[in-house]
Amino acid sequence: MPAETIYPIFDAHLDLALNGVDWNRDLTQSVDTLRARERELGMAGQPGRCGATVSLPELKRAGIRTCVATLLARWEPEINHPFGWSTPHACYAMAHAHLAYYRGLEYSGHATIIHTRQDLESHLQSTDQENGRLGMILTMEGADPLLEPETVEEFYHQGLRAIGLAHYGTNRYAGGTNSFSGLSVDAIPLLARIEELGMTLDVTHLSDRAFWQVLDRFSGRIHASHQNSRRLASWQRQFSDEQYRAVLARDGVIGIALDIIMLQEGYARRHSPQMATLQAVVENIDIVCQLAGDARHVGIGSDLDGGYGNDQTPRDLERISDLQRLPAMLSARGYSDEDIRRIMQDNWLHFFSQVLPAEKDKKNKDTKNERLREGLDSRT
């Protein structure tokens, strides 16, 4: 396999708007420029700062032409917190800010928001890829911005095609990471509407209890955008083999993340040395392949710069373009070139070519959520 081969990558989890809006980074600049700017601003020592791994030029260098980009606004009801928003209304507003950010990237020619199968096909065939125009499928990481279950329709009509119910802790819909809660009453109509709309449900971050309840109550497509194995990092954020098998049984795809807390046993943020390497990523990929019996259900969901930087990645990963080291490592593990291409991109492309609608939905202008957005709801 030639060393210069650049494999196209589909990254199923990138928090681009978190970086562009919440962290005020200019993602059109190089990673080196982002790091230098934050050092100039005195951010050295702050978690995630001065160690960016992702920018639009760096994604092009990494061979990432298509990704799933997040709307992330976590509800944190306590006033004194470093991350999140104190009210659902603020979460709703921030999700719209993230939407506006992606539209801004699209308007300026840096990205294309993919709504339909035809959009995906057009993007893959377009020379815009060669010029670095990033194709983005939008997801919501945690349903906190939904003021009520029906609010999902508003975001769907604006391009949302995937959604997870919870992030960290328990929100108004489900228990998430570090939680033992299950589904709330409001989750039931929300799941029904997600299924009706044909969206895929991201089961990443669900508590164990909520995970199994979702599988009992939701019959639509599911995936796990960034969900590593509990064999290698044995705390609740990861999936057990049984959970992996349940996703595989529903023809889902599982993305492997690069956050070292999901790769290294016993890792403690800002206290443990970075011992895990990219070999741990390969090991996670292999676990899914062995459970599935093939290489058709696993991909990349890097989660890089998801509130951290290269201070919390495998010690041999400096920036996202280092993902291009994975193919040689997989080849050394015995994977064929065809399987490597599936893992790096094609499995996610196949999945979303099935999930995305054939054409854009015709929006009903008289829906309850349209009136809510325009401030004309009958309750006001």
pTM of the model: 0.93
Cβ neighbours of 266 (radius 10 Å): 10
For residue range 175-200, list pLDDT tens digits in order: 999 999 999 999 999 999 999 999 99
Burial classification of residue 373, based on how many CB atoms lie within 10 Å of its CB (0-12 exposed, 13-18 middle, 19 or more buried): middle
What's the confidence (pLDDT) of residue 1? Answer: 39
Question: From first to last of its 380 residues, what are the pLDDT tens digits of the chain?
Answer: 344 689 999 999 999 999 999 999 999 999 999 999 999 999 999 999 999 999 999 999 999 999 999 999 999 988 777 789 999 999 999 999 999 999 999 999 999 999 999 999 999 998 666 667 999 999 999 999 999 999 999 999 999 999 999 999 999 999 999 999 999 999 999 999 999 999 999 999 999 999 999 999 999 999 999 999 999 999 999 999 999 999 999 999 999 999 999 999 999 988 899 999 999 999 999 999 999 999 999 999 999 999 999 999 999 999 999 999 999 999 999 999 999 999 999 999 999 999 999 987 655 444 444 444 444 344 43
Residues whose CB is less than 8 angstroms from the CB of residue 11 and which lie 6 or more positions away in sequence, other chains included: 59, 64, 66, 67, 68, 255, 300, 301, 302, 320
**In 3D, which of 302, 276, 287, 278 has the Cα closest to residue 243?**
287
Domains annotated on the chain, with CATH:
9-373 (3.20.20.140)
Q: Kind and range of the H or E element at 101?
A: helix 88-107
CB-CB contact of 345 with 323 (8 Å): no
